Structure 1
Amino acid sequence: MFAFIERVGARLPDTAILFLWFCAAVILASVVAAGLGASAVHPATGETVAAASLLSADNIRRFLTDMPRTFADFPPLAMVITVMIGIGVAERSGLIAAALTRGVTRVPRALLPAVTVFAGIMSSLAVDAGYVVLVPLGAAVFAAAGRHPIAGLAAAFAGVAGGFSANLFITSLDPLLAGITQTAARVVDPEYTVLATANYFVMVALVPLFTIVGAFVCTRLIEPRLGTWSGTLPDAPATETSLERRGLRAAGLVLFATVAATVALTLPAGAPLRDPVTGSLEPFYKSLVALTAILFLLMGLAYGRAAGTITRGEDGVRLATDAMSSLGAYLLLAFLVAHFIAFFNWSNLGVLTAIGGAGALRSSGLSGSTLLVGMVVVTALINLFVGSASAKWAVMATVFVPMFMLVGITPEATQAAYRVGDSVTNIISPTLPYLPLILVAGARYVPGFNLGSLIATMLPFSLAFLLSGTLLLGTFLALGLPLGPGVEAFMTPAG
């Protein structure tokens, strides 16, 4: 099946042209849906949401007048460009290649897939920075170890996107989803409170599970299909020289100093990277992209100066400029993907899809644990079309949380089912904002790597994560294990 998907994908045109087709398909679908009068009542607001034709006068005007803003407001765009300034200098100075060459000698070959998937899962602490930094790095690490770089890209991508709902720590997504869940729960119980730790035990349990499952899929399914890679790692040194060792020491000192400065800016009460009112670390989390760019930039400059690849200030500017010039393919694809996603939102097809999926599950006649498993599957399907976890949950929670409470399922259990299904199909969704970055990273090592290649590579991870995550949630339900501190899945009759 995976080979068939890849063969079909290989016959497709260039990914940029493919997204032009996608845009045309959404335009056609919007015209048909609007013509048929497709509409639904938004469960959160009570307002009627109707399909809007993208060929209406308002949307044509919106498309033409907002085109620059649609592109500029594309969420990953500024992040990718910012981080690339730092990473570009680090890469072109030789730091990343030298660090990878040393690093792969320290990580046992057999553990490389597991370490890569685990790092991807934990990267959700940095919100979306894992897409920008870790996915390309995973490909480079595997290539430096003599393994197929697409396997490394896939392992990192599976961890970052497919494992986004798992972590050993509370992330910025937890309080956001808990707030939406609490609002929906208070429709039934005005005093109900949902904590950010509502699904903490499930999140933690998913980390080793997805790490093991992801490593197995990578090693036993993906790498055998990919075969032997005959390319070379860009700018990779054959052996470590004395200048490179000196450069790595200089970069290490900069790393230590930068981390120490970040700690000083974050941990003390009233520190700049703490919220001045609540004292939370939200400003720190929001600063991680900028901190990552600064860290790589300083380390790259320090390495280049010590290793002799940077001898004057103009060299650093040249390296940064070269890095930015390599973003041409990404910028074109990002422009098309930004408009594809915008068309989906302007036409209201995404909201209608979410409401329709919720209605289908509501009328399915399922109950108890079966109802929660059904919600996992429906969420995974809707996630193919509506990527935003919070936007999707804002619609679904208003329907499912009160409905499930009335049949004895706690809001926390409903949220847990949603979280299991929410991220596992990110890696095969054409609406993922970071898709252009992943495709460009893959094409760097395998010319012609396109959307079909990516879906064929990632589908085994998606199916494995969906199956194992659902089984884990079922185990929690069957054994009556708490989903978080003091949180049960089912209400007592008194509750």
Structure 2
Amino acid sequence: MENAKKQGTFIRILNGIERIGNKLPDPFMLFVYLAVLVMIASFIFSQFNAAVIHPGTGENLAIQNLLSGAGLQFILTSMLENFTGFAPLGLVLAMMLGIGLADKVGLLETAIKKSVLKAPKAIITYAIVFVGIMGNIASDAATILIPPLAAMVFYRIGRHPLAGLAAGFASAGAGFTANLLIVGTDALLSGISTEAAKILDPSIVVTPVDNWYFNIVSVFVLTLVGGLITEKIIEPKLGTYKGEAVEADIGEEHPKASKGLRNAAIAGLLYLGVLLALILLPDSPLRNEEGGMIPSPFLSGIVPIILIFFLVLGVAYGKTTGAIKQISDISKYMTESIKDLAGYIVLIFAAAQFIAYFTWSNIGTWIAVNGAEFLTSINLTGITVIIGYSVFTALLNFLITSGSAKWALEAPVFVPLFMQLGYHPAFTQVAYRVADSSTNIITPLNPYFIVVLSFMRQYDPKAGLGTLISLMIPYSVIFFITWIILILIFFYAGIPFGPGITPYL
């Protein structure tokens, strides 16, 4: 009875979170309201002659009133530039031209299926977690594809199918930010970080590779941790599966899929070989004037380099399987992938205006300087403030689930604030990413909850929201703790988070 009461309380808390979250406006309108709020705040601040000393230039910056004549001129004349000049827009669109082509011709789906279905039984759990984490190459598609595949594999080898589903959903959702490759998420977040950093220092650029080393280590650490959670916590909790199931329909494999994967791998290796040769050339144009790589044209041009890499893979696979019959098919698939980003493009239009108003009004600088002074006055400037911020973001994920929208909301405030404390924007970005990913799988507002729940009910018709969340909580909590420990190791050991990126500016 007491256990039922506790479960009832837990479910009521989750239902309450869901109700509050559902009352939040659509992300596009959220940024519109925030832009209006900045306008009103700028008017109020200006009436009190609020000002701040710019930490970089020493200039006295007054809060500029967006509701004044000059403010109205800025709003009207900068609107298009705010949108088209917003750093994440071009980065993400360019990345998706390549990744989208690889996805639309079927390469990513085939690679995921073969990785999961062909994995040896002895390492199947770890293979599923690894593929789930790497699945964010295909963005949210991994969350739909991997859980039912994993459940089916577990069911076929006599293990509890819900344990496989849990491993698949947890790794694809909670491990979303980690990858061995540079993917669309890196381009998106780094672009927003750059825009936020420009509030204080227009010269700072956060590149898509600035968290790469941390992400690489995260893949292997989380693969081990996720596998152990599945085998030591989830499977014992579920016990022996005694039900019957209707296996998920994963579709028939293309007869030339294996050949397509082989040819894509060969083409990819040839491309990387040519790239390596260019880097090793004497006086290589991809290295800096001193012959080094940090910084270098190679790192500055990493997005087009990755774009071409995925184009090479996608064309090789598509030509082999027949998905690409003529040159025009390539642009057709690229167009389809950009269509999928329509919602993101609309959201960015509103987010870009909010950030531009925040910057022009000088409110962002005012908050950063005064916030830093406050934290310094209470002696809260060390690594604890970064960990505290990460916990805050993890909790905020229960109300705002869109990673890009949430970072566009948080970055203009926290990136300049932590820059004032001496922290690099890419380091703040790491603290955001681990928190956002960890709690993706336990927020009831996750749009894929219902989809995964439907997969669960193929094996357990009585499964409900509480069942799914109870399976996800161990992954969410342990992944977050593991990531925080990993951040601390990188921080205290002086390990760079990406090429040339340390915690401090």
Give the counterpart of 1:142 among 119, 143, 146. 146
Name the CA shift for 1:115/1:374 in 2 (closer, same or farther; >3 Å).
Answer: same
Name the CA shift for 1:144/1:256 in 2 (closer, same or farther; >3 Å).
Answer: farther
Alpha-carbon distance in 2 for matches of 1:216, 1:12: 37
Deviation for aligned residue 1:311: 1.8
Aligned to 1:372: 382
Deviation for aligned residue 1:374: 4.4
TM-score by length of 2: 0.61
Alpha-carbon distance in 1 for matches of 2:360, 2:52: 15
- Other structure's SS at 1:49 match: strand
Cα-Cα RMSD: 5.0
Alpha-carbon distance in 1 for matches of 2:351, 2:225: 30
Name the CA shift for 1:459/1:109 in 2 (closer, same or farther; >3 Å).
Answer: same
Aligned to 2:36: 24
Percentage identity across aligned positions? 26
Name the CA shift for 1:295/1:421 in 2 (closer, same or farther; >3 Å).
Answer: closer
Alpha-carbon distance in 2 for matches of 1:202, 1:89: 27
Contact 2:28 2:346 in 1 (8 A): yes
Aligned to 1:313: 327
Alpha-carbon distance in 2 for matches of 1:428, 1:59: 36
Deviation for aligned residue 1:116: 6.3
Alpha-carbon distance in 1 for matches of 2:79, 2:352: 10
Deviation for aligned residue 1:292: 1.9
Alpha-carbon distance in 2 for matches of 1:48, 1:424: 31
Does the alignment pair 1:336 with 2:350? Answer: yes
Does the alignment pair 1:57 with 2:55? Answer: no
Unmatched 5+ stretches in structure 2: 1-12, 151-164, 184-189, 201-211, 238-246, 394-406, 437-445, 453-468, 497-505
Aligned to 2:20: 8
Name the CA shift for 1:67/1:14 in 2 (closer, same or farther; >3 Å).
Answer: same
Alpha-carbon distance in 1 for matches of 2:336, 2:324: 14
Deviation for aligned residue 1:70: 0.8
Give the counterpart of 1:424 among 411, 426, 431. 431
TM-score by length of 1: 0.62
- Other structure's SS at 2:411 match: coil
Name the CA shift for 1:353/1:237 in 2 (closer, same or farther; >3 Å).
Answer: same
Does the alignment pair 1:110 with 2:125? Answer: yes
Instruction: State the number of aligned residues.
Output: 388
Unmatched 5+ stretches in structure 1: 121-129, 165-170, 181-199, 225-231, 398-414, 430-440, 448-455, 486-495
Contact 1:98 1:237 in 2 (8 A): no
Alpha-carbon distance in 1 for matches of 2:230, 2:62: 43
Name the CA shift for 1:373/1:2 in 2 (closer, same or farther; >3 Å).
Answer: farther
- Other structure's SS at 1:40 match: strand
Aligned to 1:298: 312
Alpha-carbon distance in 2 for matches of 1:207, 1:326: 27
Contact 1:44 1:395 in 2 (8 A): no
Aligned to 2:398: none
Name the CA shift for 1:392/1:364 in 2 (closer, same or farther; >3 Å).
Answer: closer
Deviation for aligned residue 1:13: 3.5
- Other structure's SS at 2:281 match: coil
Deviation for aligned residue 1:278: 4.3
Alpha-carbon distance in 2 for matches of 1:287, 1:207: 24
Name the CA shift for 1:101/1:426 in 2 (closer, same or farther; >3 Å).
Answer: closer
Amino acid at match of 1:142: I
What aligned pairs does 1:52-451 form with structure 2 within 5 A after superposition?
52-106=64-118, 108=123, 110-111=125-126, 115=130, 133=137, 135-136=139-140, 138-139=142-143, 142-143=146-147, 145-146=149-150, 147=165, 151-152=170-171, 154-159=173-178, 238-280=251-293, 282-364=296-378, 372-376=382-386, 385-387=410-412, 391-397=416-422, 423-426=430-433
Alpha-carbon distance in 2 for matches of 1:213, 1:473: 16
